[in-house]
Amino acid sequence: MTQTISHSKSDALARTHDPKTSWEAAEKVDTNRLEGIVLRAIKECGKKGAIHDDVYARLELHKIRESSITPRYKQLENKGLIYRDGTTRKGSMGRSQLVMYYKEE
């Protein structure tokens, strides 16, 4: 079942039923900065595209939590900066992951 996610005035993400502390933490996250970092990681993978494992491997040096990365994919897709066409590749744990592609201008 999909969780309902709302946007606050600062465009922070938190679930509608989350406690106040979650909303406060979400408002402190610089989503534009994180989106830019994730977008660069996907772009660096070139025409072969990137799965989550590829992005996470590139972002470990930035000390960004994995839970801060995954919400950026949908945001970048909604903004038309990346796309997913249903192609999958096996990740390090042997599970299929969707391939994300940087959308060339």
pLDDT digit of tens for each residue in the chain (105 aa)? 433 334 444 445 556 676 766 555 555 556 788 899 999 999 999 999 999 999 999 887 777 888 889 999 999 999 999 999 999 999 999 999 999 999 987
CATH code of the domain containing 72: 1.10.10.10
Domain housing 94: 30-102
Q: How far apart are CA 73 and CA 63, in angstroms?
A: 18
**16 domain residue, yes or no:** no
Show the tokens assigned to 69.
């990365």
Q: How far apart are CA 102 and CA 105, in angstroms?
A: 9
User: CA 104 from chain center: how many Å?
Assistant: 18
Q: How far apart are CA 84 and CA 82, in angstroms?
A: 7
**Per-residue pLDDT, 4:** 39
- DSSP for residue 59: H
Total number of domains in the chain: 1
